Amino acid sequence: MKTVWSEEDKALMREAQASTMGDEGYAWRYSTTTQDDYGQVEYPYVRDEEPMEVGIEFSTGTELHGADMTVVQYDAVLRLPYGAKLGEKDRFELTGFRGEVLEVPILFEVQSPQGLGLSGSVVNLRKVET
C-alpha cells in the first residue's frame, strides 16, 4: 500500500527532525575560484558565514561506492535539516556537540553522496587529520 504524505504531514516531520538536532557546525564549501594572482588555488574551501544545526553520530563504517566498488571508510554520520546541502567535495566543521561548545572544533570531509529523505538528509563523514 502506497502512503502519500500531505504537505502538512511533511512539515510536521521536518519540524520534529529539526528539533532533535543538538549539534552545530559550519559547512566548508569546496571552491576552485579562490586563486592567487598566478591562478593557483590558495585554499579551496570557503566557510559558510552562518552555522547550521545538525545531528551527528560517531559511528564508524565502510561502504562501497561507484561502479568500481571503491571502499570508503567513515567516522561519523551527519543528519542535516531539510533543504540543507553538502557536496561530496565539501567539509564540515563541528563546533558544538550535544549543546556544548567544543574547545577544539573537529573538521570532517564528506565521504558519501547526500542521502535525501522526507524530513532531512544524511552524509557520511571522515575526520580530517590536522
Measuring CA to CA, how many Å separate 16 from each of 40, 98, 128? 45, 17, 31
Higher-pLDDT residue of 96, 18: 96
Question: What's the pLDDT band for 1 if we cut at 50, 70, 90?
Answer: low
Half-sphere exposure of 127 (CA within 13 A, CB side): 12
* Segment among 42-51, 58-67, 71-80, 99-108 with least mean pLDDT: 58-67
Across 71-83, average pLDDT: 90
Q: What is the pLDDT of residues 9-27, one digit of tens each?
A: 888 888 888 888 889 999 9
C-alpha 105, offset from chain centre: 15
Q: Domains of the chain (ranges plus CATH)?
A: 7-127 (2.40.10.270)
The answer to whether the predicted template modeling score (pTM) of the entire model surpasses 0.85 is: no
Whether residue 34 has pLDDT greater than 70: no
Residue type, 124: N
